[in-house]
Amino acid sequence: MDYIFHFGPIFARWELFARGALLTVQLASASMAIGLLIAVVGAVLRSFGPAPVRWVIAAYVELIRNTPLLVQLYVVFFVLPPLGLKMSSSQAAVVALSANLGAYAIEIIRAGIESTPRGLVEAGLSLGMSRLAIIRHIVLAPALRAIFPALASQFVLQLLGSSLVSAIAAEELTAVGNNVMMQTFRNFEVFLMVGAIYFVLVQIFQTVFDGAYRRLFRWPA
Amino acid sequence: MTLRDFGLTELWFLVFSARWTLLLSLIAFAGGGTLGLLVAACRVAPQPFLRRLAAGWIRLLQGTPILVQLLLVYYGTSFIGLRPDAWMAAALTFVVSTSAFFGEIWRGCIQSIPVGQWDAGRALGFRFTGVLRLIILPQAMRLMLPPTIGYMVQIVKTTSVASLIGIAELTRTAVMVNTVTFEPVSVFGVVALTYFVLCWPLSLAAERAAARMDQRRNTGMVDLLRRANA
């Protein structure tokens, strides 16, 4: 083993990596926000909406959860433009990532909703609360607390999954790694660096989610 | 202008490439399952060194994208004189990554068996491996089943990442067929459907197994609130 590590060419391009990491964080954050919105509305409708709406949401969830994210990215990137929806690769990435996360998060939130004790809802009804008020205060608030850790790990998976976006040429962290590899031929160093950046990002996101959990749900269980 | 039409030949070619997806999945499941059992065992071992090693293994592999792991193995290992072909790289990466996920899933199941079972086993003179194999695992197996089937779905889907280093499994074949036929709606429709047919039975089985175990999920309050005139 007489290999000499050369991180020089990598560090010389730190700006590319920084820009790639920034786009990764942006893609992940945008799709987390949109995905969460889809999920809260979707989960409530999936449980309490009219029957046809429930079926449509169930079909959406099953379709997304049983096909690979990479195929979903290709569908958005290759199928939608000929149908008249022109998108940049970053936009296509956000659409696919949000749709993907939305489906997983609907299932997570629904599990929280359905574990609400029946007695609590009965109590709300006898107090004369409206259905929406019950859903909001009695069902959703404790449900979100119960499933927050599961949701947070799904968010982290989303951050990692965003690396697949490099396949449709969005210039995020993994794509930067591919480009720098072709410029420098320091394959091992490049992907060690990229992996290390992802690892640090994951730790940061986890810390933020832990902090948010403690801050958001301070009332006793 | 397209090079060829999307006919029966192309359809058959596309669907039949799923055999490589299945083969990759089987390798990942068998190899990752075996290694994962070792990881889970180390994670609950009496030696702190082993526990920390397994925890680090899990944290590292769950904290980096599988695509980056795959690229590192495929392109990055030439410095120790390795020039793995795409299949070797994919098999190694999927086995290692799957071992971390199974290790973590199974650790949870093992640890939800009451500690008294461990104490009793040790009191009877069994060593760690004996207690784990003869007393803990047979009880934990029931808990392990649903999440294990559930993760098999993830494995099948994750093999699509191998397309990015040129393995002509389902997803890669789809991109190639799409390039020559330029019929993205049919091509990706067929591919999505093929994955769905592979994964959905597993998802249903996992759900059913979980439902059998977890009675408290349906409290009847959903129906109550749906019917309520509030």
The answer to whether position A167 is within a domain reads yes
Looking at residue A42, its pLDDT comes to 96
Domain assignment of residue A8, yes or no = no
* Residue B22 pLDDT level (bands cut at 50, 70, 90): very high
Average pLDDT rounded to a whole number, residues A97-125: 92
Percentage, residues of chain A above pLDDT 70: 98
Rounded CA separation A11/A105 (Å): 38
- Residue A142 domain flag: yes
Cβ contacts of residue B183 below 8 Å, gap of 6+?
B2, B5, B6
pLDDT at B176: 93
Domains and CATH numbers, chain B: 8-227 (1.10.3720.10)
- Interface confidence (ipTM) of the complex: 0.90
Domain contains A91: yes
Please indicate, yes or no, if residue A11 is contained in any of the structural domains. no
How many inter-chain contacts (A to B, CB under 8 Å) are there? 164
Inform me whether the pLDDT recorded for B143 exceeds 80. yes
Q: How far apart are CA B119 and CA B108, in angstroms?
A: 18
In a domain, A108, yes or no: yes
B156 vs A184: CA distance, rounded Å: 34
- Predicted confidence (pLDDT) per residue in B187-219, tens digit: 999 999 999 999 999 999 999 988 887 765 566
Burial of A180 from C-beta contacts in 10 A (0-12 / 13-18 / 19+) = buried
A115–B217 C-beta distance less than 8 A: yes
In a domain, A55, yes or no: yes
Q: How much is the pTM? A: 0.90
Do the Cβ atoms of A125 and B220 come within 8 Å? no
Identify from A78, A113, A172, A206 which residue to disrupt to test chain B contact, counting B C-beta atoms within 10 A and taking the largest count: A78
Spatial CA neighbour of A43 closest among A96, A132, A138, A114 = A114
* Binary contact (B188, A111; C-beta < 8 A): no
Buried b (16+ CB within 10 A) or exposed e, A137-153: ebbbebbbebbbebbbe
CATH code, A164: 1.10.3720.10
At A151, list the tokens: 């949701």
Range of A139's domain?
17-216
Q: Does A102 touch chain B (CB under 8 A)?
A: no
The residue among B227 and B172 whose pLDDT is bigger is B172
Nearest neighbour of A199 by CB, restricted to B63, B66, B164? B63
CA distance A197 to A152: 19
A2 pLDDT more than 70:
no
Question: Which of the listed ranges A113-122, B28-37, B70-79 does the model predict with the highest average pLDDT?
Answer: B28-37
* B 23-42 → A contacts, CB under 8 A: none
Express the helix, strand and coil content of chain B in percent, nearest 5 each.
85, 0, 15
| Residue B109: C-alpha distances to residues A68, A149, B51, B127, B130 (Å) | 27, 18, 16, 20, 17
Average pLDDT (A171-183) is 88
pLDDT tens across A74-96, in order? 999 998 888 888 888 899 999 99
Interface contact A114-B217, CB threshold 8 A: yes
Written as one string, the DSSP assignment of A118-161 is HHHHHHHHHTT--HHHIIIIIIIHHHHHHHHHHHHHHHHHHHHH
In the structure, what pLDDT confidence band is assigned to residue B1 with cuts at 50, 70 and 90? low
Residues of B in contact with A112 (CB under 8 A): none
Query: Does the residue A221 lie in any domain?
Result: no
Residue A71 distance to chain B (closest CA, Å): 7
Q: Is the dihedral of CA B24, B27, B29, B32 positive or negative?
A: negative
Average pLDDT over residues A53-74: 96
Give the tens place of pLDDT for each residue, B76-127: 887 677 778 999 999 999 999 999 999 999 999 999 999 999 999 999 999 9
> How many domains is chain A partitioned into structurally?
1
Q: Is B83 left (phi over 0), alpha (psi -120 to 50) or beta?
A: beta
Taking the Cβ of residue B63 and every Cβ of chain A, the question of whether any pair is shorter than 8 Å is answered with yes
